Amino acid sequence: MIKSRCGINCTKCRFEECAGCVNINEPFWGRCSVKECCEAKNLSHCGECEDFPCELLMSFSYDENEGDNGKRISNCRIWKNRDMLHGKKAVIFDMDGTLIDSVGIWNTVDRLLMNKLGSDEYTENELQKLRDEKLKEYSSYASPYLKYCEYLGIITNSAMSPEDIHTLRYDIADDYLKNIICYKPYADEVLRSLKEKNYLLAIASTTKRANLEIYTYHNKNIITHAPIDKTFDVVLAREDVETIKPDGEVFVKAAEMLGVSKEECIVIEDSLVGLMAAKDARMDCAVIYDKYSDEDSHILRRDSKYYFMDHSEIISVINHGDE
């Protein structure tokens, strides 16, 4: 039961006579600016605010004398997210940046690729932004990544064909895909917990099937923690759809193959293009924080139905039904 606006756990308060600020007009300890702000916005608690966590709440939570080192902020996030799985039968995951920590690795791969093409003028962050923009632009092409490689050849004045650049890119990536990429912290536990509770699971990715097959059959990190072929009921790659994200086709197809309605699915994504795809598919979307999406973080927090800082918070939601 929610008793506070700010997320503090009232059951552990030393003032047992207090019913919680949600249930009283005037707090016995005096005026509370957090309570006033929350109620002025007609919110049940701070976690429902699009500015969460704001500077005011942060100052309360990390106050040297009365703070709780961020616990109330975590509680607010859990309160907001705890009904995420209500009425859901299936969870559809993006792969790169959501389940596996790979976005930074692809930035490194593209930097090394650019070096081999004779250019060193782009930083990894600039390459990530360029890649995201171009893949969105080329989303309706039969091979968006081939078009992306063609573009890299043009801007570097390379004599290599788009096909050869594409092949070189994945030659560079091979060791990373097999030996370095792993699940993000607690992601494997999330998958096992959902599986134990009989949720249908799917991967809906824009990466090519060859990469997913490497993760499935050759990446020991992934195989050891939560093998793809034994964990997921449906796995969809770039080749399985006509149009990639931000088009929602891959999510719609995943739901169809799982045999569930859109309303019975929750999509978990990490990026703005993924959130846009979920909205295009008219599915509820939870976003999990990834540092490579920092530039879009405000939009992701504002426009996603649920937002998590890491997979441990999703575990709290899964376990909420057992409380």
Residues 119 and 259 in one domain: no
Q: State which of 81, 115, 134 marks the end of a domain.
A: 81
- Sign of dihedral through CA atoms 141, 295, 180, 222? negative
Phi/psi class of residue 37: alpha, beta or left (left: φ > 0; alpha: ψ in -120 to 50)?
Answer: alpha
Residues 310 and 190 in one domain: yes
Tell me the C-alpha distance between 264 and 208, whole Å. 27
Q: What is the secondary structure of 152-185 as a DSSP string?
A: HHHHTT--S-HHHHHHHHHHHHHHIIIII--BPT
How many helices, marked H, and strands, marked E, lie in the chain? 15, 6
Judge whether 246 lies within some domain. yes
Question: How many domains does the chain contain in total?
Answer: 3
Residues 170 and 219 in one domain: no
The domain containing residue 35 runs over which residues?
Answer: 10-81
Tell me the C-alpha distance between 283 and 258, whole Å. 14
Each of the 323 residues of the chain gets a pLDDT tens digit; together they read 567 888 887 766 666 666 678 877 777 667 888 888 999 999 888 888 878 888 998 888 888 887 888 888 888 877 888 889 999 999 999 999 999 988 889 999 999 999 999 999 999 989 999 999 999 899 889 899 999 999 999 999 999 999 999 999 999 999 899 999 999 999 999 999 999 999 999 999 999 999 999 999 999 999 999 999 999 999 999 999 999 999 999 999 999 999 999 999 999 999 999 999 999 999 999 999 999 899 899 899 889 999 999 999 999 899 875 44
Residues 168 and 209 in one domain: no
Residues 229 and 95 in one domain: yes
Judge whether 4 lies within some domain. no
Residues 237 and 94 in one domain: yes
Tell me the C-alpha distance between 34 and 38, whole Å. 6
Tell me the C-alpha distance between 193 and 178, whole Å. 25
pTM for the model = 0.76
